[in-house]
A and B are shown apart, each in its own frame.
Chain A
Amino acid sequence: MKKWTTLLLVLLIALTSILSACGTSNEPADTTAAEPTAMTEPTAAPEAAAAPEATEVPEPAAAAEPVDISMWALASVTEAGPPADDWIAYDRIRDELGINLHYTIIPPQGDGETKLNAAAAANDLPDLFMIVSTTNDRDNLRTYHDLGLIAPVDDMFAMMPERTKTHYNNPVLIDLDSFDGQAYGLPNPPGITNREGLVIRQDWLDNLGLEAPTTPAELLEVAKAFTFNDPDGNGQDDTYGIGAFIEGSGVGRRFNPIFGAYGVVDLWNFVDAADGNFGLNVRDPQYYEAMKTMIEFTDAGVIDPDWPTLTKDEFRARWKQGRTGIMWEDFAALTNKSNYTPFDDNFPDASWTPLPALTGPGGEHVYGLNEANFSTYAVSQKAADEGKKEAIARLLEWMATDGYYLIGFGEEGVNFNLDEDGYITLDGIDPDLAFNSPAMQPPTQLRGTAFYNTLAEISARYPNYETNNGREMTPIKTYLEFFQSQQWIEGFAKKLIPPPENAADFYRYYDEGILQFALGQKELTPESWAEYLAGLDSLGAVQFEEGARQTLTDAGLLP
């Protein structure tokens, strides 16, 4: 009989939990009896009546009730987790701005995009959110715009004069977030651009008595020597010339050195745009030549054979393990201290030399495509309807002014200090509390929203240091500035181009064909190439190109 009642009880609980779930209120963070400890709100009651501490208050703090602003944004270091509930910035934002900020970290890549899209489908987007896209931010922004889910933000610039000066001063970026002449997104200043480049193991070159390559043919010879002539002198056949993985369309950016020598990097032919020859790069006869060269590398077996299936991690693990000697790599991923140290510990006498663009038979020497990589904030139409635009502008303005250091580096005197020139220093700071310490990652998750690439920021982020054998490592000077001095093609207009009809099928066909040729799975002949291009046409390549030309002409970017 007792068991009986237990069962009934269990059934009852199940039923009530379902029913209670149906009937809960509108509160964003409701808690049920089942999860007593799950609390979102900071426990301290907001002291609305208390006067804000008398410093410069940018806007008169709102009266009694603070405005709730929900904000979804990528974190700077997702793995470090969100700021604690008692984060000092939450308090200051409430006291000084009259805003209750609810910050949710959205996961990167597809997860984050799906989360945003699902919220959009339910018309449940947060007030302020960062666009996350695995393809092109602008395409997602366009979708939300077409569905009427996001608000125009032109009127917000005037509400945040300082931030507009420092952050929203690039009309090109604003255009990339605009539709029909109205801005629907707030573009954060792009990160450092043109930051990748070709590097080679100098010690391997020296060991084998070789010169740095200047043409694709020389690169092939060096890569062969790196693969077959035991460049590290360990007596084992354990090295490959070139390390790579697929990143970007076709064979990806990692093969820019080969394709750049023929002037055909990436999808679009921006190089010849001025001559009225704008279209897909694969139409360019030079692309066929570049592919022939690429195949020579494949046939020679000088590329790490796993490259088509490697992830970025594995690619990086391999150069740190000394398995590859030539690669296209991001300057920070290569030289920033936390990344370089494992390699340095392994090979203290090794060093990577940055190389200029290779020159092809036709004299082309393109380094890469400059794609403006910036993140965009959008404001949901719902938030605008609720009159929250002004509060959102207040918040963003604060992050660029009074809150700048707090959001970016933490508290002055505790987490960082400023020297007389305004540079960030750690002099007199407890290393465990330093702005770049693990403990300070959660409270600086939103630093990307504050930063705008000042020299002080960049030098704080990529400091010089000494390697194990006493060499001075200067990431900015030796690598970044060298890479940036090469010939980069202006390619931000790429983002304006609307995607092809059936984008997924089109891109699959495009990538698959190129890789089949590049890997030698399909023989490259003029006929097979023509056949490939014909297939591309049957998937709407011509219309895609026409649409692209139309868009760029309308934007005044093509003659």
Chain B
Amino acid sequence: MVAAGSRSTSEHSLGRRVRAVAHSMWRMRWMYLLMTPTLIYLLVFKYIPLWNAQIAFKDFKPLLGVTGSPWVGFEHFQTFVNSFYFSQLLTNTIFFSLAKLLLGLPVAIICALALHETVLRRYRTFVQTVIYLPHFLSWVIMFGVLLSILSPGDGLLNQIIERLGGQPIAFMTSPKYFRWVVVFSDIWKETGWSTILYLAALLAINPELYEAAAVDGANAIQRIWHISLPGIVPVIVLVTLLRMGHILEAGFNQIFVLYSVPVYSVGDILDTWVYRQGLLQFKFSLATAVGFFKGVIGLILILVANRVAKRVAQQGLF
């Protein structure tokens, strides 16, 4: 009797919940309709390729097609994980990824804050435009620029070192320095570009908050600390989370151009390996398998980071 009653109430509440969801779905029907074209797009242009990506588990033969090629299970993954340089590649990749994030992010935020704070409007526009320029330099050009600064023969920096009585340093070919050349050249090139995003976020902060702070007699530092920074925390969290999802992407184009044989041990990353090993030698299945591997690691990290972000900053993606 009691049991039956409780069951009927739970059924009742379930039905009510379904109805409530259905009701709110109906209320939001325009929302779904709006999103439908994009979702169809995702299905065609993102999910069909993901379906094709089953070649990661197959011995892909063009004549047999994606579905017709024979399954090989995790063979390509094993090839990759057991490869001679696997741990070195992984270390290098994660190092570059993290170093660029951890050093690059604060620099970009500080630049954005400084640009936001300055009262010199025209100067701000000028600086903003200039620091965004290097983003457009391809790495091929950057290589020339770096060489002119870092070359042990006649590089600017080495001339200074020699003037100060030091020995010229082969930054580009020395395993000791190469990593930092990669990290700092990336920061140099991309800081201005990432600043745009934080600046847009700063501009979206309600100006009334600043006015209120001014009335309360807050100084600049307090203003930044209590209004500006909290205002852009959501963007910072979002960017960081998404970067964690791509932790195994360390900047193929950059490293492919900058590295050379003497610095392979500190410069070779997953993507350069895949390029040498995979694409050029028709090992497409292997390349796709590495893509999956990167995705799985990214998924794990983004889930962990999301949880941390929710706990620490009360912010998250989902």
A residues at B contact (CB < 8 Å):
11, 14-15, 18, 22, 110, 113-114, 117, 120-123, 133-135, 139-140, 143, 147-149, 238, 240, 246, 304-306, 308-309, 314, 499, 502-505, 508-509, 511-512, 515-516, 519, 521, 538-539
B residues at A contact (CB < 8 Å):
37, 40-41, 44, 60-63, 83-85, 147, 151-154, 168, 170, 172-175, 260-262, 264-265, 268, 273, 275-277, 279-282, 284
Query: A553 vs B281: C-alpha distance in the bound complex, in angstroms?
Result: 26
Q: Quick one: given A14-B37, A304-B153, are A505 and B63 in contact (CB under 8 Å)?
A: no
A308 touches B173 (CB 8 A): yes
B62 touches A309 (CB 8 A): no
In the complex, what residue of chain A is closest to B152 when comparing beta carbons? A305
Question: Could you write out 27 A-B pairs with CB less than 8 Å apart?
Answer: A14-B37, A113-B280, A120-B62, A121-B62, A121-B284, A122-B62, A134-B280, A140-B282, A147-B62, A149-B62, A246-B260, A305-B151, A305-B152, A306-B147, A306-B152, A309-B147, A314-B147, A502-B83, A504-B276, A505-B85, A508-B261, A509-B84, A511-B264, A512-B264, A516-B262, A521-B174, A539-B84
Query: A306 vs B84: C-alpha distance in the bound complex, in angstroms?
Result: 29
Q: Which residues of B contact A511 (CB under 8 A)?
A: 261, 264
In the complex, what residue of chain B is closest to A307 when comparing beta carbons? B173
In the complex, what residue of chain B is closest to A251 when comparing beta carbons? B261
B282 touches A120 (CB 8 A): yes
A11 touches B280 (CB 8 A): no
Q: Which residues of B contact A120 (CB under 8 A)?
A: 62, 282
A117, A121, A505, A508 interface centre (most CB from chain B within 10 Å): A508
In the complex, what residue of chain A is closest to B82 when comparing beta carbons? A502
Q: Which residues of A contact B260 (CB under 8 A)?
A: 246, 308-309
Query: Smallest Cβ distance from A249 to chain B, in angstroms?
Result: 10
Query: Smallest Cβ distance from A119 to chain B, in angstroms?
Result: 9
Point out the residue from A11, A123, A508 that lies within 8 Å of B276, measured CB to CB. Answer: A508
B261 touches A308 (CB 8 A): yes
B63 touches A515 (CB 8 A): no
Query: Smallest Cβ distance from B274 to chain A, in angstroms?
Result: 9
Query: A123 vs B151: C-alpha distance in the bound complex, in angstroms?
Result: 46
Query: A485 vs B139: C-alpha distance in the bound complex, in angstroms?
Result: 42
Query: Smallest Cβ distance from A300 to chain B, in angstroms?
Result: 15
A110 touches B84 (CB 8 A): no
Point out the residue from A14, A117, A314, A508 that lies within 8 Å of B280, measured CB to CB. Answer: A117
Q: Which residues of A contact B37 (CB under 8 A)?
A: 11, 14-15
In the complex, what residue of chain B is closest to A117 when comparing beta carbons? B282
B277 touches A504 (CB 8 A): yes
A515 touches B279 (CB 8 A): no
Query: A516 vs B44: C-alpha distance in the bound complex, in angstroms?
Result: 49
A18 touches B44 (CB 8 A): yes
Point out the residue from A147, A148, A512 that lies within 8 Å of B262, measured CB to CB. Answer: A512
Q: Which residues of B contact A135 (CB under 8 A)?
A: 280-281
A305 touches B41 (CB 8 A): no
B63 touches A309 (CB 8 A): no
A117 touches B83 (CB 8 A): no
A18, A121, A306, A511 interface centre (most CB from chain B within 10 Å): A306
Q: Quick one: given A18-B44, A143-B282, A149-B62, are A306 and B277 in contact (CB under 8 Å)?
A: no
B168 touches A515 (CB 8 A): no
B63 touches A147 (CB 8 A): yes
In the complex, what residue of chain A is closest to B178 when comparing beta carbons? A309
Query: A140 vs B280: C-alpha distance in the bound complex, in angstroms?
Result: 9
Point out the residue from A110, A515, A538 that lies within 8 Å of B261, measured CB to CB. Answer: A515
A519 touches B173 (CB 8 A): yes
Q: Quick one: given A509-B84, A512-B265, are A504 and B281 in contact (CB under 8 Å)?
A: yes
Query: A129 vs B279: C-alpha distance in the bound complex, in angstroms?
Result: 19
Query: A14 vs B37: C-alpha distance in the bound complex, in angstroms?
Result: 9
B153 touches A305 (CB 8 A): yes
Enumerate the 7 nearest inter-chain pairs by beta-carbon distance, A residue then B residue, closest first.
A504-B277, A504-B276, A305-B152, A505-B84, A123-B62, A309-B260, A511-B261
Point out the residue from A147, A148, A504 that lies within 8 Å of B273, measured CB to CB. Answer: A504
Q: Which residues of B contact A508 (CB under 8 A)?
A: 85, 261, 264, 268, 276
A139 touches B281 (CB 8 A): yes
- A306-B172, A502-B83 given; name 8 further pairs at CB < 8 Å: A110-B275, A120-B62, A121-B62, A139-B281, A240-B153, A309-B147, A505-B85, A539-B84
Query: A15 vs B168: C-alpha distance in the bound complex, in angstroms?
Result: 60
In the complex, what residue of chain A is closest to B84 when comparing beta carbons? A505
Query: A11 vs B147: C-alpha distance in the bound complex, in angstroms?
Result: 48
A505 touches B83 (CB 8 A): yes
Query: A143 vs B173: C-alpha distance in the bound complex, in angstroms?
Result: 35
Q: Which residues of B contact A133 (CB under 8 A)?
A: 280
A521 touches B175 (CB 8 A): yes
Q: Which residues of B contact A521 (CB under 8 A)?
A: 174-175, 262
Query: A139 vs B282: C-alpha distance in the bound complex, in angstroms?
Result: 10
B63 touches A148 (CB 8 A): yes
Query: Smallest Cβ distance from A75 to chain B, in angstroms?
Result: 20
Q: Which residues of B contact A509 (CB under 8 A)?
A: 84
Query: A306 vs B168: C-alpha distance in the bound complex, in angstroms?
Result: 12
Query: Smallest Cβ distance from A116 to chain B, in angstroms?
Result: 10
Q: Which residues of B contact A240 (CB under 8 A)?
A: 153
In the complex, what residue of chain A is closest to B283 when comparing beta carbons? A504
Query: A508 vs B37: C-alpha distance in the bound complex, in angstroms?
Result: 47
Query: Smallest Cβ distance from A317 to chain B, in angstroms?
Result: 10
Q: Which residues of B contact A515 (CB under 8 A)?
A: 261-262
Query: A539 vs B84: C-alpha distance in the bound complex, in angstroms?
Result: 8
Query: A9 vs B239: C-alpha distance in the bound complex, in angstroms?
Result: 33
Q: Which residues of A contact B153 (CB under 8 A)?
A: 240, 304-306
Q: Quick one: given A113-B280, A135-B280, are A305 and B170 in contact (CB under 8 Å)?
A: yes
Query: A480 vs B85: C-alpha distance in the bound complex, in angstroms?
Result: 43
In the complex, what residue of chain B is closest to A381 when comparing beta carbons? B63
B44, B83, B262 interface centre (most CB from chain A within 10 Å): B262
B61 touches A147 (CB 8 A): yes
In the complex, what residue of chain A is closest to B258 when comparing beta carbons? A309
Q: Which residues of B contact A121 (CB under 8 A)?
A: 60, 62, 282, 284
Query: A22 vs B84: C-alpha distance in the bound complex, in angstroms?
Result: 43
Query: Smallest Cβ distance from A113 to chain B, in angstroms?
Result: 6
Query: A36 vs B175: C-alpha distance in the bound complex, in angstroms?
Result: 53
In the complex, what residue of chain B is closest to A11 when comparing beta carbons? B37
Point out the residue from B151, B173, B277 that lies within 8 Å of A505, measured CB to CB. Answer: B277
Q: Which residues of A contact B147 (CB under 8 A)?
A: 306, 309, 314
Q: Which residues of B contact A147 (CB under 8 A)?
A: 61-63, 282
B173 touches A309 (CB 8 A): yes
Q: Which residues of B contact A309 (CB under 8 A)?
A: 147, 172-173, 260, 262
Q: Which residues of A contact B152 (CB under 8 A)?
A: 305-306
Query: A15 vs B41: C-alpha distance in the bound complex, in angstroms?
Result: 9
A18 touches B41 (CB 8 A): yes
Q: Which residues of B contact A143 (CB under 8 A)?
A: 281-282
Q: Which residues of A contact B264 (CB under 8 A)?
A: 508, 511-512
Query: A538 vs B84: C-alpha distance in the bound complex, in angstroms?
Result: 9
Q: Which residues of B contact A304 (CB under 8 A)?
A: 153
Query: Smallest Cβ distance from B80 to chain A, in angstroms?
Result: 11
Query: Smallest Cβ distance from B269 to chain A, in angstroms?
Result: 13
Query: Smallest Cβ distance from B165 to chain A, in angstroms?
Result: 16
Q: Which residues of B contact A123 (CB under 8 A)?
A: 62-63
In the complex, what residue of chain B is closest to A519 when comparing beta carbons? B262
Query: Smallest Cβ distance from B64 to chain A, in angstroms?
Result: 10
A110 touches B280 (CB 8 A): yes
Query: Smallest Cβ distance from B131 to chain A, in angstroms?
Result: 27
Query: Smallest Cβ distance from A512 to chain B, in angstroms?
Result: 5
Q: Which residues of A contact B284 (CB under 8 A)?
A: 117, 121
In the complex, what residue of chain A is closest to B173 when comparing beta carbons? A308
Query: Smallest Cβ distance from A154 to chain B, in angstroms?
Result: 21
